[in-house]
Structures are given as C-alpha cells and as structure tokens.
Amino acid sequence: MPYYPEDVIRDVTSGNDIVDVISSYVELKKRGSNYFGLCPFHREKSASFCVNPLNQFYHCFGCNAGGSVINFIMRHENLTFPDAVKMLADRIGYTLPETGKTDLHKEQLRKRLYELHKTAARYFYSLLESERGAIAVDYLEKRKINLSTRKKFGLGFSSSQRDGLYKHLISEGFNEEEITASGLVVSFDNGYRDKFFSRLMFPIIDVYGNIIGFGGRVLDDGKPKYLNSPETLIFSKSNNLFNLNNARRSGVKEFILVEGYMDVITIYQAGFKNVVASLGTAFNERHARVLRKYCDSVILLFDSDDAGVNAVLRAIPVLMSSGLRVKVLQVHSAKDPDEFIKKFGAEEFGKLVEHSENEFVFRVKQLLKEYDVKNIDDKIAFTNKVVSMLKDIENEIEASAYIKEISRLTDIDTEAIKNQLQKQLSYTPSLSINAQRGTGVGINSALRDVRRSLLNMYITSPTVYDVISEGLDEKFLGEQLYKDIFNYVTELRKKGIAVTPPLITGKFDSEEEGKELSAIFMLSADYKEDEAQKAAKDQINTLKKAYYEDIIKNSDDDDKVREAFEMLKIINR
C-alpha cells in the first residue's frame, strides 16, 4: 500500500473542500454555519447528515458516520485510503509523489494479473467450445442456457488435466510469480496444479470490465459444488458482486439479489439484467455499500428453505443500514427461479418481481411462525416483539399501514398495537442509579465527552496547548484511539506543523476512527482564551479524579490505592 507523507495528505485535503466534494453525492442545504442533507449511508426521512466547512468534516446524527473528505470518499466509493487519496488528487489535478519500488512492482503485478485472467478466460472458453467441453455444454443445454448467454457471460470449462491452465499460462509468457499470485494455480508436491478442473467456469468481472476471478461448478456429485478464486491483489469477494458490471448499466435502480451464478444467468436470460449475486461469501456491509452506489432498492430472492430464510433475515438489516429499501421475493410454486421461469415463463416471473413483499411484512410473517397468537401468552410476546420493530419506523403513514397489516394477519386490534407502541416510545430507562453508583452508561458517557472535548481543544485551540500537554497524561484518556490522537497531535506540534482537523482525520482513516473524530469535532465550543484554559484545567482534573477513584474502587494493590488517595488530595486542594 502506498505511503503518502503528511504534507501530501494536507495538500490533497486542503484542495478538496468537503462541501464541494460531498455536494456531488448529496443534496446539501445551508443551515447556520453548517450544511445538512439526507445521509447516504443509512435510510432516513429527515436530514441528519451534517457537513462542517470550518473544520472540514462530516457527521451523521442518525448513524454516527463521520470523518474527513478522505473518509467520505473511502466509504462512499468503497476505496482503500491510498485509492481515495488518488481519486481526490486527480479531482484537483494534484500529482502524487512516486511510490517506492515495492509499490511499483505491485502495480506492475496488478496489471499482469488482469492480463493473466483475460488469458485464462479465453483458455476456459476455448475448452468449452472443444470436444472436451461437451459435458459442460450438455449441462447448459439442459438448463436452457443459450449460446448468446454463454458468450455474454464468457462461460468456460476447466478440463480434467490437472496442470492444463498452468502450462498454457507459461506458454503465453507469464512467470511463476504471476501465476501463483493469481490464485488460479497452486504449488503442489514440488510442482503446480490448477485450482479448477472439470468445472463449468464463470468469469467474475468488475465494474470496469476487468476479469478479476472465477467461480467453478462441478458437473457431477463432487464436492465442493462451487469453488471460487481466493482473495488476490485484484479480487476481493466483499467488494464485488457477480453481474454487477451488467446490472449497473441496466437503467433500473432496483436490483434483484440472488444466491448463485446460475440463478443470475437464468434470470438475466429471461430479460432481467438487474440481477446480482454475492461471490461465495455471506452478504455483508461492504456488499451493501457497493450496491448503494448503483441502486436505491434491493429485492432479496433466496431459497425458501430455512437456510435461505435465515440468510434473508441477516441481509435485511445490512441493506437497510446502508440506506437501501428492501423487498423479499419467495418462489413457492417452484424450487428455484430457474424452475419457475421454465414452468411459467419470464412474464409471470416479472409479475412475481412486481409483487415482491415488503421486508417488514416478511419479518412479521416469519415471526408469526414462532408464536401461536391464539394463545394469550404467545399473543402478548408476539405483540411486544412486533412493536419493538415498529419503533424503528420514522414515517407515521408507513407505521400505520404496518399496524393494519399486523392486525389483519393476527386479529390483534389495531388500537391495542398502537397503545403498546406508544408505551414503548414514551418509556426511557433512567440512568440515575448507575450514575449514583459511579458506574455504567451515564458516567462512562460523561467521561467520554470530557475526553472528546479536551482532544477537540488540543487540536483546534493553540492557546490551550501548553495547559493540556503539561497537565494531561495519556493514561487519563482511557481508549487507545484517544491516546493515539493525543500523541500524534503532540508530535506534530513539536515538529512545528500546523494542526488541522483534516490533517488528523487523514491520519486516522478507518470508518470507526472517522466516526469518533467527527464526534470529537462536534463538541467544539467558542471559549475566550482565559475561559478555554480554565475549561481545559477543569476537564483534566475531572479525568484525573475518575482515574484515581477507579483505582481506589477496583485495585487490590494497597500501595496503588494509597497513592491514589494522595493524588486525590492534591487534586481537591
């Protein structure tokens, strides 16, 4: 991974105003000194996504996403830190410095791997069209996959010759480092063996049209049924979806998410270009973020067995947390989409798609299977569960429609459901008991805010730098991230480098670090110089007291406890 020095990060971030950058993705409206819009990272009805032009950071009050302009590009475009820096540098015409020899070698290897995969795809395709591929062609014909579709997806065949691909790649001028880096060949007993043999081959193509990996299906009873390329320099299972390269050009903003290669190909051939599948790994947040770039809504079409239903239930919150609308389609009159389309045709399948079920109703129906609502105890338990789901619905009209549907499914009176919902919405657990005991959420949250406030002043207020650097030891900061931020700012100050929020957020570039930094910057306050210094001293003392009180309460070391008592006396003078 390329390393960019602090001055480069500073140049790139200062040249990319965060409001300008985010405005190209989100419609922003100025409110006071900040800009607000709908969060691109979760579904919401009211604008809780805040962009601060002064400190050049963003923060969502709904999902707590936040960070610098680099963090935003990383998350929205699903890029690594170096790739996000490069994208922003290109945006302003900034020339990044040359990377080291290692990085240049890696970049050259990456290019060779793209060429190698293209060569492998041609090899597999030629085998499919040869006599050796007859078994695979026969399988495809039985599945009613026509020649045009075979060519569209570049389907191929890997022969039973265990080193056929290896020998072919060598003959095409690829060396052993490149071949093994592809993951298509593995070293074996002082030699090399192809990863795929006697399988129908599915090229995996990224959104730029590059072949980056393969999936392979056995044509007999062998195991595993499906085999996929391993993670490589050019292939990440969580950053790609099968057929995304075609689906994104379908002109449809609602994608159908299915379980496997053949489901995709069958549905695509039936005329539905907007179909994708994950690549041999459980659907996750990174997949959802990739989809969010190309569509607004996702229809989940998985098997109707228990495993399929559970997969749907796991995928729903993942998709919704990325701001996607979710529907569920279950094929009951056939074992899978392939059989349904063969039986009833593409037009009937289209009607099924049009009548896909709302995810909330689907979840309620699944929940109903666990309860006998004719039994009073089960009815109460079921109602409480459903009401807890309703609490997350912001739109009143939507919630009202769901309440009516729940009532229809269960014969539970709508007013009873509404009353129970109102009780749960108006109930707020008290934190006072924990706060009085000096433990739990209340106190921990308060200390966290003190630490955030101190770090905010340390970064943004040079007038309190000496007060904080002399009075605050990293041990009082608790979390490792806070300690790392404190030490990094100290290091920059000692070097005479001007400390700015973009420089800090450029250093701590993970999604979680970005969230925490945006929370730190949200705590800024307009202090006069003397007020800021007093606030800093008071907050340092608050952290010290909490630190030593914790030792007194929890330590078994008598010497440490005595020392803590002495320190508290000094602080309280």
Segment 239-276, tens digit of pLDDT: 899 999 999 889 898 999 999 999 999 999 999 999 99
Q: Kindly report whether the global pTM for this prediction surpasses the value 0.75.
A: no
Could you give the residue ranges of the DSSP H alpha helices within 461-522? 465-471, 480-494, 501-507, 511-522
Query: Is it the case that residue 79 has pLDDT exceeding 70?
Result: yes
Mean pLDDT of 155-165: 94
pLDDT in tens, 284-331: 888 988 888 788 899 999 988 888 899 999 999 999 877 789 999 999
Provide the strand spans (E) within 64-170. Answer: 66-67, 156-158
CATH of domain 435-572: 1.10.860
**What is the identity of the amino acid at 419?**
N
Query: Is it the case that residue 436 has pLDDT exceeding 70?
Result: no
Looking at residue 23, its pLDDT comes to 93
The pLDDT-based confidence of 424 (bands split at 50, 70, 90) is: low
Mean pLDDT of 468-496: 88
**Roughly how many angstroms between the first and final C-alpha of the chain, as a whole number?**
52
514 three-class SS: helix
Looking at residue 138, its pLDDT comes to 97
CATH topology of domain 102-235: DNA primase DNAg catalytic core, N-terminal domain (3.90.980)
Query: Is it the case that residue 177 has pLDDT exceeding 50?
Result: yes
Q: DSSP label at 299?
A: E
Give CA–CA dist 461/442, Å, rounded.
28
Least confident of 1-10, 57-66, 228-237: 1-10
The pLDDT-based confidence of 9 (bands split at 50, 70, 90) is: confident
Mean pLDDT of 159-183: 95
Query: Is it the case that residue 460 has pLDDT exceeding 90?
Result: no
The average confidence (pLDDT) of the chain is 86
Looking at residue 434, its pLDDT comes to 32
CATH C-level class of 244-357: alpha beta
pLDDT in tens, 103-149: 678 878 988 999 999 999 999 999 999 999 999 999 999 999 999 99
Looking at residue 354, its pLDDT comes to 94
Query: Is it the case that residue 184 has pLDDT exceeding 80?
Result: yes
Q: Which helix (H) or strand (E) holds 115?
A: helix 101-128
pLDDT in tens, 346-356: 999 999 999 99
- Long-range contacts of residues 172-178, Cβ cutoff 8 Å, at least 24 apart: 172/119, 174/112, 174/116, 174/119, 177/109, 178/109, 178/112, 178/113, 178/116
Distances (CA, A) of 499 to 6, 173, 490, 496: 11, 51, 10, 9
Looking at residue 427, its pLDDT comes to 45
Looking at residue 440, its pLDDT comes to 33
Looking at residue 103, its pLDDT comes to 67
pLDDT in tens, 504-533: 877 787 777 888 888 888 776 556 667 778
Looking at residue 197, its pLDDT comes to 92
Mean pLDDT of 161-190: 94
Cβ distance 457 to 468 under 8 Å? yes
Least confident of 2-6, 18-22, 430-434, 449-453: 430-434
Question: Which candidate, 532, 529, 502, 528, places its Cα nearest to that of 517?
Answer: 502
CATH C-level class of 6-92: alpha beta
49 three-class SS: strand
Supply 453's token pair: 């406030």
Tell me, yes or no, if the two domains 244-357 and 435-572 fold the same way. Answer: no
Mean pLDDT of 34-59: 87
Looking at residue 340, its pLDDT comes to 92
Query: Is it the case that residue 225 has pLDDT exceeding 50?
Result: yes
The residue extents of the domains of the chain are 6-92, 102-235, 244-357, 370-426, 435-572
